[in-house]
Amino acid sequence: MQKSEFLSKDEIRYLKNFLDVYMRKDQSFHFGIANDVSIIYPSTFDTYHASRKFYVLDEYSLSGVVNFLGMEAEDRIYLTPEEMAIDKKTLKYNEQDVIEETRLFLNLIQQGLPLAFITGMPFEILFSSGATKMWDYMAMIRASYHKKIMPALCRAYDIAKKIGEYGVNKKEIVENVRKSSAGKEILRVVKYGEEMPDWVEYPFLIYDEKNKEIAYHFPGGMTIKPDRDAKSDFVPWYNVIVADVGAMYPTILRAINAGADTVKLALNEEPDDWIWLKKVPKRFIEEINPILKEGEEDFIDKGLMIGVKIAEEPGVINLAMKGIMDFINKVKKEMKEKSGKEKNILQMMYNSLKAARNAGTHGILSAPTVSCRQFNLFGAALITTKGQKILYDTLKTLEREGARVVYGDTDGIYVACSRSASKNLRNAIGVNYGDSKWIIEPEKVERIIEHCNSKWRRLLNYEDFELEMEKHDAMIFVKHKNYLIFDVEDGKVVMITKGNNFKGSDKPKIARIFLKDIMTDVLKKNLEWENEEEAKENIRNSITEITLEKIKDINIEKFDIDAFTLVQSVQPYRRYKPNPNGSQSVYGERAESLEKLVGKITVRRKFKFVVTKKPLPGIKNPTKSGVKPIHYMYPVELLEDRNQIDMEWYKEMIKNFIQGAFGLSGINKFRQYGLERWM
């Protein structure tokens, strides 16, 4: 393109550059005459894969995702395949499908585009990729630019099982593989010759041939369990500050240049740093002779410190991480300046990039059973060892200053500041009285954490190191990785559940509605306390009393029918495997009975059910178990009267859910058990 009647010279130059970069030149033939054309590379934005990338849901159907996001079309019509026809109703159904799909796309594109730009991955690859594939892709782009050779794609654990058969060093392995008929996985690694990863010379560090398991063990995050370590379970903690370590591992990676191509074992040379491994095979120590020392730090309970060398030049993961973290800092800065819709869009971008950042640390370096190119045990252990030092130092600093640390896991260190609810929380709950009962002033905790940040910025020689701070109005811990968070948003109490105890994914929505109502009332009844043991007893008593009070007289009319529904798939009844004695299974009986109500079921279909007082028609010996009363599940679309719903079953289900979630042996007893007792 040299000239145009419509475009200026600058515009022609920009357009030509765009065509050269983003389009492919080709020729189109029309009646044998060739015409020059530019083909724009197509891109597919699959909202199913995008939803799976950004949200954790029980189902990823269009209706499931739009309901979760609150984007459902007005007066939504739902049709089964049998009900579809060439009529106005079906046309309206299709129109609403398109409306919801467009709304979903506009929501997801705001998270997908920044991630696609920063990773350099097209949507088709990005959304279906896990963390290792995404970071391998970013690393390979930088490896190509910096003229580095990337290792072969492999599962380190599987290769370690076999590669020892071919020799003890790289040269020997290459020669013996050439002579033998090795599998394609081994060949893919060995063809790199001297560029093979160093661990091929000591595969016994990865694979324990005797016990058929991973041979090494390195520490993860620092764990402070609420029931065993902190003794903080079942206490309502107020004004909780979290020293969030989500950003810590990426900043450690950047600060010390820990990566697959930058960290190696120190042999016969002065180590640059030390890693902590809790378990190391004796053969590795005897044959490889690494540089060792006893762990001097208090947090090291067992294992050895092993010396490593670190490259001076930034590694490919380090370079990729810099791009993501620079982008995140830019988005965070803009978020502070914006409000309303613009801020919400930036928040979604931030969440998307933050998840990608957190996935790109020791997880991709320590994945021996996942196909990847970045496995490096020493790099991963270097990050976690440094992380343990920082967390332990932060913990001890907080404790010395009088802070009450109530929980700790891979997410961070949790500090409770008060024994009484804040004025903000009291107002949201509807209580306008009460005094502050500080364990420690929040401002003091913030100063301590900032002091730790300054200290480690200096020690790591990295100005961007940060333990980010999060604040919550209240928290109740039950057991490790199972707790409740209470925050005030727009003058209302919002409860967030963490852990499998509270998931209730196999329960109708009413179970989770009641959990929030019960625990909000429990909090209201325990807005302040003096003694921790008394507070625990009061919380347990309150859960029992309020649960019994709430379920005693449930008003069915207060709830939408969706609160009682259970969504399950049903196949044609002949597809269900019979019982060992040859009789039809409960699922087969249900499917056959449903055909009498809805007609022939020829393909797998999803139904919305409610549990009713009477069983499905035609079932001779119906059973009503507490968890899945299959024989009593009636399709919502055929329900004639709400009085058909078995409210006694729902009451018992809610009671069992609360009982199991909090590990109580019975609704009137207070001895604690694990969730497995109720599964």
Q: Which spans in 23-147 are helix H? A: 47-54, 62-69, 88-119, 123-126, 131-145
Q: Which residues contact 364 (CB under 8 A, 6 or more apart)?
A: 131, 132, 135, 136, 317, 372, 374
The shares of helix, strand and coil residues in the chain, as percent rounded to the nearest 5, are 50, 15, 35
**The two three-digit tokens of residue 400, written as one number:** 């010395």
Q: pLDDT per residue over 419-430, tens digit each? A: 999 999 999 999
Q: Quickly count: other Cβ atoms within 10 Å of residue 606's Cβ.
A: 13
Query: In this structure, are 65 and 100 located in the same domain?
Result: yes
pLDDT value for 626: 62
Check whether 34 has a pLDDT greater than 50: yes
Classify residue 4: in a domain, yes or no. no
Check whether 668 has a pLDDT greater than 60: no
141 — phi, psi (to 5°)? -60, -45
In the chain, % of residues over pLDDT 70 = 95
Which range, 4-13, 24-33, 661-670, is most confident?
Answer: 4-13
The C-alpha R_g of the chain, in whole angstroms, comes to 30
Q: Quickly count: other Cβ atoms within 10 Å of residue 423's Cβ.
A: 13
First-to-last CA distance in the chain? 69
CB 367 within 8 A of CB 132: yes
Q: How many angstroms separate the CA atoms of 527 and 436, rounded? A: 10
DSSP 285-299: HHHH---EE---STT
Give CA 33 to chain center in angstroms. Answer: 56
Query: In this structure, are 118 and 189 located in the same domain?
Result: no
CB half-sphere exposure, 581, CA atoms < 13 A: 2
Number of structural domains, the chain? 5
Classify residue 673: in a domain, yes or no. yes
CB 194 within 8 A of CB 170: yes
Mean of per-residue pLDDT scores for the chain: 88
CA torsion sign, 282 to 287 to 290 to 291? positive
- Quickly state the pLDDT bin for 158 (edges 50, 70, 90): very high
Instruction: Name the residue among 157, 124, 127, 125 with its Cα closest to residue 140.
Output: 125
CATH number for the domain including 233? 3.90.1600.10
Q: How many angstroms separate the CA atoms of 386 and 364, rounded? A: 17
Degrees (nearest 5) of the Cα angle 484, 488, 493? 65
pLDDT value for 527: 96
pLDDT value for 415: 98
The region that residue 644 occupies, defined by phi over 0 for left and psi between -120 and 50 for alpha, beta otherwise, is: alpha
Number of DSSP helices (H) and strands (E) in the chain, helices first: 21, 19
Among 439, 466, 498, the domain boundary falls at 498
Beta strands in 287-372 (DSSP E): 292-293, 304-310
Check whether 92 has a pLDDT greater than 90: yes
CATH number for the domain including 584? 1.10.132
Cα 581 to Cα 87, 578, 584, 585, distances in angstroms: 48, 8, 9, 10
Classify residue 630: in a domain, yes or no. yes
pTM for the model stands at 0.79
**The two three-digit tokens of residue 257, written as one number:** 């240049």
Query: In this structure, are 230 and 295 located in the same domain?
Result: yes
pLDDT value for 604: 83
The region that residue 373 occupies, defined by phi over 0 for left and psi between -120 and 50 for alpha, beta otherwise, is: alpha
Among 94, 111, 129, the domain boundary falls at 129
Classify residue 358: in a domain, yes or no. yes
Instruction: Name the residue among 654, 630, 634, 456 with its Cα closest to residue 548.
Output: 654
Query: In this structure, are 247 and 349 located in the same domain?
Result: no
Check whether 455 has a pLDDT greater than 90: yes
Query: In this structure, are 293 and 387 located in the same domain?
Result: yes
- Quickly state the pLDDT bin for 3 (edges 50, 70, 90): low
Beta strands in 455-513 (DSSP E): 468-479, 482-489, 492-498
- Quickly state the pLDDT bin for 673 (edges 50, 70, 90): very low
Query: In this structure, are 620 and 654 located in the same domain?
Result: yes
CA torsion sign, 234 to 664 to 516 to 433? negative
CB 163 within 8 A of CB 188: no
Which range, 30-44, 325-339, 638-652, 656-670, is most confident?
Answer: 638-652
Classify residue 371: in a domain, yes or no. no
pLDDT value for 679: 40
Query: In this structure, are 154 and 241 located in the same domain?
Result: no
Q: How many angstroms separate the CA atoms of 492 and 277, rounded? A: 47
Instruction: Tell me which residue range forms the domain holding 96.
Output: 47-129
Classify residue 1: in a domain, yes or no. no
Query: In this structure, are 105 and 183 located in the same domain?
Result: no
Q: How many angstroms separate the CA atoms of 350 and 246, rounded? A: 13
Average pLDDT over residues 598-605: 86
Check whether 183 has a pLDDT greater than 60: yes
Q: pLDDT per residue over 374-420, tens digit each? A: 899 999 999 989 988 998 999 999 999 999 999 998 768 999 999 99
CB 221 within 8 A of CB 387: yes
pLDDT value for 2: 63
**The two three-digit tokens of residue 365, written as one number:** 């370096």
pLDDT value for 441: 96
Query: In this structure, are 116 and 201 located in the same domain?
Result: no
Average pLDDT over residues 324-335: 88
CA torsion sign, 407 to 413 to 418 to 421? negative
Query: In this structure, are 542 and 660 located in the same domain?
Result: yes
243 — phi, psi (to 5°)? -85, 95
Residue type, 204: F
- Quickly state the pLDDT bin for 246 (edges 50, 70, 90): low
pLDDT value for 474: 97
Instruction: Name the residue among 654, 677, 672 with its Cα closest to residue 547.
Output: 654
Coil vs helix vs strand at 277:
strand
Q: Of how many residues is the chain composed? A: 679
Is the pLDDT higher at 183 or at 420? Answer: 420
Instruction: Name the residue among 272, 248, 277, 270 with its Cα closest to residue 262.
Output: 272
Check whether 33 has a pLDDT greater than 80: no
Check whether 678 has a pLDDT greater than 60: no
Check whether 10 has a pLDDT greater than 50: yes
- Quickly state the pLDDT bin for 223 (edges 50, 70, 90): confident
Among 498, 533, 553, the domain boundary falls at 498
Average pLDDT over residues 210-224: 87
**The two three-digit tokens of residue 180, written as one number:** 């033998």
- Quickly state the pLDDT bin for 348 (edges 50, 70, 90): confident
Check whether 226 has a pLDDT greater than 80: yes
Query: In this structure, are 201 and 223 located in the same domain?
Result: no
Query: In this structure, are 285 and 173 located in the same domain?
Result: no
Classify residue 462: in a domain, yes or no. yes
CB 408 within 8 A of CB 391: yes
Classify residue 189: in a domain, yes or no. yes
**The two three-digit tokens of residue 556, written as one number:** 């069915």
Is the pLDDT higher at 517 or at 16? Answer: 517
Check whether 562 has a pLDDT greater than 70: yes
pLDDT value for 675: 43
Q: Which residues contact 75 (CB under 8 A, 6 or more apart)?
A: none
Is the pLDDT higher at 588 or at 340? Answer: 588
